Amino acid sequence: MKKFVNDPQQFVPEMLQGLALANPDTLKYVPEHNLIARADAPVAGKVSIVQGSGSGHEPAHVMAVGRGMLDAACPGDVFAAPPMDYVYETAKLMASDAGVLLLVNNYTGDRMAFDMGREMAEAEGIKVAVLLIDDDVAVKDSSFTVGRRGVAGNFFVIKAVAAAAERGASLEELVELGKRVNSVTRTMGLALTSCTPPAKGSPLFELGEDEYELGVGIHGEPGRSREKMADANTLVANLLDPVVSDLPFSSGDEVALMVNGLGGTPISELYLVYGIAHRRLADAGITVAKNYVGEYCTSLDMAGASITLVKLDDEIKGLLEAPAEIGLRIF
């Protein structure tokens, strides 16, 4: 295994220590519950926004904590949901007078952990709600999910509800807003290679030298089909067209377009993909008003990418443009 890792069991805590050391003024790390939070959270009068999931999808979600984004992230081990009592402890620590919104990508393990964590928190009188994200158009019902999976599109739900929370929206309003953003967000991904969890030390699945997995899940689980390797134009068409036809997005729409790398694909290729997708949308009369190119939700070291579209209106656009600061940054 060619990775920067000491004890694989300590991979996640060591990453979180590094993240907290890199952001001493803005983030706090609570090792007892494997939790990263804004240093100033909970903020009185503001709903706290929390997301958790298995690790291995960084920057989601621990590096998306900060003002105008998550108040806390509650990660599990690599590709494993966090324990329900960590969810409960996170909700307790983040409980403001305005309440706590738990965002959950739709995977069965995560839903269980967050639903039970929510019940435990509610039993103590904490105002808490769970919002599911299920943007992946690839498959309905899969290895680890009933219904559609929640993948990179969660970025837009986080950004929108977090911006609205900063502006004073109530827990009930945020749930409605989050559902609305999720309902206009669609994603599909493809894997060019497998990925290697530190504790396994070998690739999670096999993929032939001339094959890719279309519609792959963010844990490498099967998608729609195993396809023969093709050029970038074909790969992008095979990702984008099912996304466009699903909502559907149509001529005259204004959208946000995200090209998300899965961990092992260089940013050069992601911009090449962006250019193809942007032009293909323009040809269909769809205008890209906001764009996002880089790594937002990964699968360890997997080579591959996903494409997300969000149908914009003035409210959603304004929320996406609101200021935010997170642990991950360039300068």
- The residue ranges that bind a second copy (CB under 8 A) are 2-6, 11, 14-19, 21-22, 55-56, 58-59, 63, 159, 192-193, 209, 212, 229, 231-233, 235-236, 263-276, 278-279, 291-295, 298, 300-301, 303, 305, 320, 324, 326, 328-331
Rounded to a whole number of angstroms, the minimum distance from the CB of residue 301 to a second copy is 5
Closer of 123 and 330 to a second copy (Cβ) = 330
Rounded to a whole number of angstroms, the minimum distance from the CB of residue 123 to a second copy is 34
Closer of 63 and 177 to a second copy (Cβ) = 63
Distance, CA of 209 to CA of 9 (rounded, Å)? 31
Query: Could you give phi then psi for residue 51, rounded to 5 degrees?
Result: -135, 145
Rounded to a whole number of angstroms, the minimum distance from the CB of residue 228 to a second copy is 12
Rounded to a whole number of angstroms, the minimum distance from the CB of residue 25 to a second copy is 12
Number of Cβ within a 10 Å radius of residue 321 = 11
Closest of 71, 64, 31 to residue 50, by C-alpha? 71
Question: In Å, how far are 57, 114, 142, 257, 290 from 147, measured between CA atoms?
Answer: 20, 17, 8, 24, 28
Closer of 146 and 267 to a second copy (Cβ) = 267
What long-range pairs does 60-64 form, CB within 8 A, spacing at least 24?
60/152, 60/154, 60/155, 60/296, 60/297, 60/298, 61/154, 61/158, 62/15, 62/16, 62/19, 62/36, 62/327, 63/19, 63/326, 63/327, 63/328, 64/155, 64/158, 64/326, 64/327, 64/328
Closer of 115 and 205 to a second copy (Cβ) = 205
Active site (annotated) includes residue 219:
yes
To 10 degrees, what angle do helices 232-246 and 267-283 make?
Answer: 50
**From 33, 61, 219, 278, the catalytic residue:** 219
Rounded to a whole number of angstroms, the minimum distance from the CB of residue 217 to a second copy is 17
Distance, CA of 48 to CA of 288 (rounded, Å)? 31
Query: What does the DSSP 8-state code read for residue 35?
Result: E
Closer of 97 and 233 to a second copy (Cβ) = 233
Active site (annotated) includes residue 57:
yes
Residues with a catalytic annotation lie at 57, 219
